[in-house]
A and B are shown apart, each in its own frame.
Chain A
Amino acid sequence: GDSVTQMEGPVTLSEEAFLTINCTYTATGYPSLFWYVQYPGEGLQLLLKATKADDKGSNKGFEATYRKETTSFHLEKGSVQVSDSAVYFCALTDSTLTFGKGTMLLVSP
């Protein structure tokens, strides 16, 4: 079945550092790919998405490119802020959402 693997956290960075959270997937079809973010005490929110190969999703300075050849959808941000501290979930969908385990990001001033 479909699955999503993302790097284990926590990822600890200083403010303004470059962020990469790796995500790879296995799927039988041609899924859409997503990154969700969960801030403390809140529900998951859609951060960005890509629906086909080579698409780049972007939002709030975050971006991820759908790489079919490497089955990856790595999340990047050029300069993180303390307010980006949260748990980030990579997910894919064919018919239902399949999530990775989540990666906690901690950004210190």
Chain B
Amino acid sequence: GAVVSQHPSRVICKSGTSVKIECRSLDFQATTMFWYRQFPKQSLMLMATSNEGSKATYEQGVEKDKFLINHASLTLSTLTVTSAHPEDSSFYICSARTGTGGQDTQYFGPGTRLTVL
């Protein structure tokens, strides 16, 4: 089946630094990628939807200047957490979908655990 990878799987950084998380679709072209955030014992919360070559669409309450999303190619999307603070510590999950797929063809990455000290 389709595989989505994320890098890094785990990152620890100091408060005030920026962290970039990569999401790649390994064997298919993803016209749409999604970024989710998951707090402990909470559901996945959609942060933003990005289509290749265009600006991401952010969900209400998500700061677009803090969570920069770039979807420069059909196989790569990046999420940059700028000036990270401890409250940004969370589990970030990306998913990718082909252009013709419905919701069931959304493939998920393994997630990135971010810890901000």
Residues in chain B near residue A45, CB distance under 8 A: 1, 108
Which residue of A4, A89, A96 contacts B49 across the interface (Cβ within 8 Å)?
A: A96
Inter-subunit contact B110/A89 (CB<8 Å):
no
> Smallest CB-CB separation from B44: which chain A residue?
A99
Inter-subunit contact A97/B106 (CB<8 Å):
yes
Query: Among the interface residues B1, B46, B103, which one has the most CB atoms of the partner chain A within 10 A?
Result: B103
Inter-subunit contact A43/B104 (CB<8 Å):
no
Contacts of B32-56 to chain A: CB distance below 8 A:
34, 41-44, 46, 49
Can you pick out 13 interface pairs between chain A and chain B where the beta carbons lie within 8 Å of each other?
A: A32-B104, A41-B110, A43-B4, A44-B95, A45-B1, A49-B104, A89-B44, A96-B34, A96-B46, A96-B49, A97-B46, A99-B44, A102-B41
Contacts of A20-75 to chain B: CB distance below 8 A:
32, 34, 36, 41-46, 49
Inter-subunit contact B104/A100 (CB<8 Å):
no
Q: How many residues of B contact A (CB 8 A)?
A: 20
A100 to chain B, nearest CB (A): 6
Contacts of B70-117 to chain A: CB distance below 8 A:
93, 95, 102-104, 106-111
Contacts of B14-72 to chain A: CB distance below 8 A:
34, 41-44, 46, 49
Q: Using A4-B43, A43-B110, A43-B111 as known contacts, list a sample of 11 further A-B pairs with CB atoms less than 8 Å apart, ordered by residue number in A.
A: A8-B41, A34-B103, A41-B110, A42-B110, A43-B93, A44-B93, A46-B104, A89-B43, A97-B103, A97-B106, A99-B43
A13 to chain B, nearest CB (A): 20
**A81 an interface residue at 8 Å Cβ cutoff?**
no
A45 to B110, CA, bound (A): 10
A101 to B40, CA, bound (A): 9
A45 to B106, CA, bound (A): 9
Inter-subunit contact A101/B43 (CB<8 Å):
yes
A42 to B9, CA, bound (A): 10
Inter-subunit contact A101/B42 (CB<8 Å):
yes
